[in-house]
Structure 1
């Protein structure tokens, strides 16, 4: 028989676990705001038990990814429930976080590749799925954040030099009289003094596009200078050759458009996933490299996906959490 103290402790642990799961659902919804992030940081920092509960909730969530893979590989069938003596916590979590997928008590789980990193939650500035945001840094620069972007102020000796791009994409506009403005992305430092440029940093790789003016890219492997219409990609280990591109295509997202010119279908799907809640999964290997050209409205991505489905004779299957399988 439990004492009243033991019952109170158990009740507190259950409440904290529910709160951790609620925060996890909110932060992975694709709709979390900066206020949500600030609230989460206060909640997590108010007690060591909160941090432990959230770590456990995330561990359980991550354990679900193999189940999602089995669901897809089995032809979108149901995933059998885990043995009763090991799965009570997972089933409870699924029930609270994702809902049941049917009377059998199974669930479909969205892939986790769009999971926001801890560094993104604590960023000075961030955007959610499909959100764009403009920042004015006095007379230095105007920075526009694209979807799913997180960045911090970059300071040296207490003075702001620019921003550090944690993840995502940011456009920088510089007046002619501005002081140098720096964007740190991965292993590179991108420095502009006038004109405009765009920096994208996704999955450890960075891409710098000079829209107008001149941009200098400093990397441990060397220094490169870009003029308008030039682009440079790099990661931690290497810097690739400078390429010539159409600046309007790479900045089209600022006008609410996605522009592709002979882009592989797999890349088009990856790009759509950045702007759309949930995830589109392409399970048609023969079509992954099929070239796609067109101008698509970011506000009408579901229509774009329907066009892709019909153009390539794909079948679609919708799953909970905004997951769409194209096969």
Structure 2
């Protein structure tokens, strides 16, 4: 009787790095030096090689869903066109990177990955980063605490060697300031949020930034206009626009800090997008007619598989599990 060894258990941070390398090699922004760095990373251990093989397989499995999203989602299509318009590296550097990609067996995949499995290029500048399902508390100073949610990348913003705030590259963060704390700023995309003795949360996901003030005062500076938020208020902005001030529901906004996801009449597509942030792999909904169906529910972050099972039954969906944590609902 022939036995086969079990596949190695891969740390989620290693999986994230592997996905980042797959994206980097096909971004058009990689250099020959980065291609060499990739080879060194891949050859560092059998676990590194296994993580890369898994990421490569995951990318290939998701190609039909990626192509479908670009065809049917106007925002994804716009981001895809913008990516393609960006200047490429020199031909010599590109050939070096392409050679590394071909040697690794990942040639022929798309440049743009709108499903968010691979970190964006700017996330490589992060000083702190969390993996899928991970949350991390950072004692920024004696008077300021920062908590990172799942799949979040931030970097310290400093001036004259003195920390004055952070840049949110992707994901979601909560800021808690003591009443005696001086102002603390968070740069995210085109805007900057300045907390004044405040507790506030800020998310940056797929070009959309949402700022929620829970206590104190937060001033948003944006090219399209400034906003001042007080407790239980929020505003949303993108690169070229900013919303008005709206009422915020702290129960929903801060649920992740209690280990929950709370949805109140949220579209099914939004619910699945949120769940995808917390689990390795990807849940892909293939039934367009169900995307707008609403969901009101509270899910535990440590029991998301049960949440998915409940939605499968509620909407009569069939589930197909694919390698690398991909779940297709049809």
**Shift, 1:111, TM fit:** 8.3
**Shift, 1:157, TM fit:** 3.0
Once the two structures are superposed, residues 94-120 of structure 1 have per-residue CA deviations (whole angstroms, 9 ceiling, x without a partner) of 7xxxxxxxxxxxxxxx98631012332
**Which residue of 2 is the match for residue 68 of structure 1?**
63
Mapped pair 1:300 → 2:303: yes
Question: Considering only aligned residues, what root-mean-square deviation do their CA atoms show, in Å?
Answer: 3.6
Runs (5+) with no aligned partner, structure 2: 1-10, 19-29, 43-51, 69-100, 107-112
Mapped pair 1:161 → 2:161: no
* 8 Å contact kept, 1:261–1:293: yes
Q: Distance in 2 between matches of 1:139 and 1:324?
A: 43
Alignment of 1:219-230 (within 5 A): 219-230=222-233
**Which residue of 1 is the match for residue 289 of structure 2?**
286
**Which residue of 2 is the match for residue 239 of structure 1?**
242
Runs (5+) with no aligned partner, structure 1: 1-24, 33-43, 74-88, 95-109
Mapped pair 1:29 → 2:29: no
**Which residue of 2 is the match for residue 41 of structure 1?**
none
Q: Which runs of 4+ in 1 moved over 4 A?
A: 25-28, 52-58, 60-67, 70-73, 89-92
Alignment of 1:268-287 (within 5 A): 268-287=271-290
* 8 Å contact kept, 1:154–1:162: yes
Q: Distance in 2 between matches of 1:139 and 1:271?
A: 32
2:189 to 183, 186, 189: 186
**Shift, 1:196, TM fit:** 0.4
Q: Distance in 2 between matches of 1:61 and 1:187?
A: 33
**Shift, 1:29, TM fit:** 1.8
Mapped pair 1:309 → 2:309: no
* 8 Å contact kept, 2:12–2:131: no
The TM-score, its normalising length taken from structure 2, stands at 0.71
Mapped pair 1:265 → 2:268: yes
Mapped pair 1:318 → 2:304: no
**Shift, 1:288, TM fit:** 0.3
Q: Distance in 2 between matches of 1:70 and 1:164?
A: 31
Alignment of 1:92-111 (within 5 A): 93=105
Q: Distance in 2 between matches of 1:31 and 1:131?
A: 15
**Which residue of 1 is the match for residue 21 of structure 2?**
none
* 8 Å contact kept, 2:65–2:284: no
Question: Per the alignment, do residues 162 and 147 of structure 1 end up closer, same or farther by CA in structure 2, a change over 3 Å counting?
Answer: same
Once the two structures are superposed, residues 280-311 of structure 1 have per-residue CA deviations (whole angstroms, 9 ceiling, x without a partner) of 00011111000101110000000000000001
**Which residue of 2 is the match for residue 205 of structure 1?**
208
Question: Per the alignment, do residues 159 and 115 of structure 1 end up closer, same or farther by CA in structure 2, a change over 3 Å counting?
Answer: same
* 8 Å contact kept, 1:259–1:294: yes
Q: Which moved more, 1:200-209 or 1:269-278?
A: 200-209
Q: How many residues align?
A: 263
Task: From the CA coordinates, give the structure whose radius of gyration is larger.
Answer: 1
